[in-house]
A and B are shown apart, each in its own frame.
Chain A
């Protein structure tokens, strides 16, 4: 090992040069038109509207006047008996002729036809969530609520801090479900660092909303359609919709908003 003494190093010759390169291109791929349907039907409110649009190709700005569909024939069926026509108003929105008050437990079906495409969906309006307990979880920094699970419903929650102005979570953290009659823990996303202290203990709320059960599959798959902002992420997963029809995507969903619960 004495010969180790003979070792000496020589340094690198060329400086390491810059790496990745970015360029923006106009996409030139086959465009395939899809029908897009959306309606969020809230309990204890008037029926809002169903929006019918079409997808647009990449490389052009999204304008509602280019995307809206005006030639859809659509109607609702309430509780399997009452037929309610939907009429085009503007920006792809189709509304009922008269105000239609939505009640918990009702079942709504959507029937629509555009050219040769038949569209169908069904949803049940969930009941207002029945919260038995709400508390701040200091280990996960989330606000949790115990909810009595009901048949065909799933639950998601957001935190609210009633500062001035009030702030709330941008999104749900997760969608939870359980067997009917059991107690279910629903959690918000972690509170931001600045709202975790004791001085906010009386300002923290949790709002739990209940949804038709088809929301869970949509929620868990929805990011597949989001914009990608990182080169190491690839889109292309399937979003699980509850609207049926050839080359049709969309969500026709019943929602019931809960009353915010204060936690300490």
Chain B
């Protein structure tokens, strides 16, 4: 096939999209090699590139000649096209569709890099690998899988979000199809709030992220979802022990597709019926995702997405001392327009509406007859506009630039007493409106054959504080050989929105609060240095990365808080401090073959210092983990049978324990003296080491002309009683005296679970 493209000057830019010929999905990371009029594999290609996360490529600076293009993508038939550049038009779109090969994929593994070898601390994860890893719900569990990577810590078994390189979950920017998600995971990271059956591309940047990302302090999780198959209508319906899900997709017409999914998790119902005395929080959630993709033209695609998720955790009747009722809700609506202009500039415009609502009603000691003694209801509403432009003006230089504009409204309601009237009072609480604006410029350049760099900067403006600042970002890679790459990075990042949580409660108590005149933006300075090596035709990759992160203007609640909305400002209850995190990560990754997976180890420290906490002394946050070792393996036994296993060994979570007891008389009320505990510092002790083995078996078969997928998961195979909580309680000895002893609670023992999904 010969294609004549037009040109009018002496240089030409060839650009376009690469898609799956069957489903119409964009293919990320397709390699495109350009040869002169004949292919000689003994000579290197004239030039080459790879598609970005939209499946887009651009090859600039081509002469008016005949070229041969080779499109190669794992799992797809290699496609060769001949192109003659002869006439008018300095750039033109040349899109192509690749056909899948019949054979199963051999390479499905996490890659330290895909097409951008410049970025440090970046891991791209294959959705195919995730599908073979063990999960409690039987669905792809992105967040639990990410916790297996070096540098990603393990929170408690009911905590949500990612603890990356000593940062708290709010310090990770989560983007789903370019739209921010405030709470991307359900409780305990048991599942993502977005459609995990439609994962297309997953990128985790653990630190020193490039200038195109901002508004968070530590790290980025950038997820792209599929658009829905153009081939035919498809569906998956799954039934599991604690949740069920359904997903449907297909073409609406020749130019548009849809994808809709829903999920309901009914853990609380199972608990009530099978384990009524359990003190584990009663919990349920549901979520609905929908996406419509419309190809306006070969150069223009519009996607409309909607997401709604709601979680509810509440205290079981078996718990007498604490009463809690916690609900949170995500609403995201977005319009995403991807277009290529006449100069082969890729433009991506996103308009999104985001609403995140979190209601905490907690009574720690309901003896006061006022059942809830802590009530907070932050309601965040954002209207975002983002536009990014990508220009490959030279073969060795790719420029990206873009703007972010956001209108934030934060309505924060809080009180030390709960009434329905207060919750419904539209005038109660603190109402803050702020404008956030950012502009970035970023370049990805190759200097000679060995040195490459990603460099740029981001200008920030935050309205409520009139705060303006600049964030430089640079990441450099030097190839000693094709298999040994040295990397380093430096970045400064700001965060205007703070997640302030109760230190004395391990239940989720999200209180997002923006920077104001009194609450400064947090900022971090990050340094990364490391190297990557590859062996055996790049079947194995090994990387070592050291990092240091300094964090300023972090906020936490004071030790004792007063939440009378009439008398006390919520800002008076916060205290400002700083933190640092440093460590080294080792990552051995087997990338090809029937057996694939990785071994990761992290040695790290995370520290905090607040003048008004812990007597001003440095302390470790709960999620500080000195050692974190994990093994992840996936093995294809036969074509339809896969086994996956994960094993983790990590330093136990930190907690606070009193070193002594004393008696004290109630003051002014009379009554008997009571035994009290003298705490000397925050998080001075550690739980026993956390270790767990999970195994998963996936089997696919066809019956009555219908495809079935079954799974069997063995969670916590050797029934390790990992501590979820440890605290001092009083028991009576034989003489009737009260003795303080340590009580340890562990949540999830060995749990076998199974389920089946129907695909049609």
Interface residues of A (CB under 8 A from B): 1, 3-4, 6-27, 29-34, 36, 38, 40, 53-64, 67, 140, 156, 158, 169-174, 189-190, 192, 209, 211, 215, 217-221, 223-238, 240, 249, 251, 253, 255, 257
Contacts and interface: CB of A to CB of B under 8 A. Distances in A.
A232 B683 contact: no
Nearest to B364: A233
Contacts of B506: 231-234
Given A38-B664, A209-B668, A220-B560, A234 B655 contact: yes
A83 to B, nearest CB: 26
Contact of A237 (B365, B504, B710): B504
B741 interface: yes
Given A220-B562, A225-B679, A235-B727, A62 B656 contact: no
A58 B559 contact: no
Interface in B708-760: 708, 710, 712, 721, 724-725, 727-731, 733, 735, 737-756, 758, 760
A74 to B, nearest CB: 18
Contacts of B321: 229-230
Contact of A12 (B731, B737, B747, B753): B753
Interface in B79-94: none
A63 B368 contact: no
Contacts, number: 290
B667 A30 contact: no
Contact of B661 (A55, A64, A217): A55
B710 to A, nearest CB: 8
B321 to A, nearest CB: 4
Interface in B658-711: 658-669, 671, 674-683, 685, 704, 706, 708, 710
A206 to B, nearest CB: 14
12 contacts: A21-B749, A29-B659, A63-B737, A190-B368, A225-B664, A230-B319, A230-B321, A233-B322, A234-B503, A236-B504, A238-B613, A238-B615
B741 A57 contact: no
A244 to B, nearest CB: 13
Nearest to A61: B737
Nearest to A231: B725
Q: Is the interface of A mostly helix, strand, loop or mixed?
A: loop
B679 A237 contact: yes
Contact of A27 (B274, B561, B710, B728): B728
Contacts of B562: 220
B729 A228 contact: yes
Given A12-B239, A232-B324, A249-B678, A53 B721 contact: no
B729 A229 contact: yes
A30 B746 contact: no
Given A40-B668, A237-B559, A249-B678, A62 B663 contact: yes
A236 B422 CA distance: 30
Contacts of B730: 227
A60 B728 CA distance: 12
A62 B738 contact: yes
A9 B368 contact: no
Nearest to B669: A171
A193 to B, nearest CB: 8
B271 interface: yes
B664 A36 contact: yes
A227 B728 contact: yes
B431 interface: no
Given A12-B753, A173-B368, A238-B559, A156 B668 contact: yes
A62 B614 CA distance: 26
Interface residues of B, number: 106
Interface of B: 233, 235, 237, 239-242, 248, 270-271, 274-275, 278-281, 319, 321-322, 324, 364-365, 367-370, 416-417, 419, 503-507, 559-562, 564, 613-615, 655-669, 671, 674-683, 685, 704, 706, 708, 710, 712, 721, 724-725, 727-731, 733, 735, 737-756, 758, 760
B98 to A, nearest CB: 27
Nearest to B319: A230
B667 A40 contact: yes
Given A232-B322, A235-B504, A192 B678 contact: no
A55 B664 CA distance: 11
A21 B721 contact: yes
Given A9-B237, A61-B735, A226 B712 contact: no
Contacts of A24: 729, 731, 741-744
Nearest to B663: A62
Contacts of B655: 234
A20 B278 contact: yes
Given A8-B758, A190-B370, A227-B677, A19 B747 contact: yes
B322 A230 contact: yes
Contact of B239 (A11, A36, A231, A255): A11
A65 B133 CA distance: 59
A17 B750 contact: yes
Given A61-B737, A67-B662, A158-B669, A20 B746 contact: yes
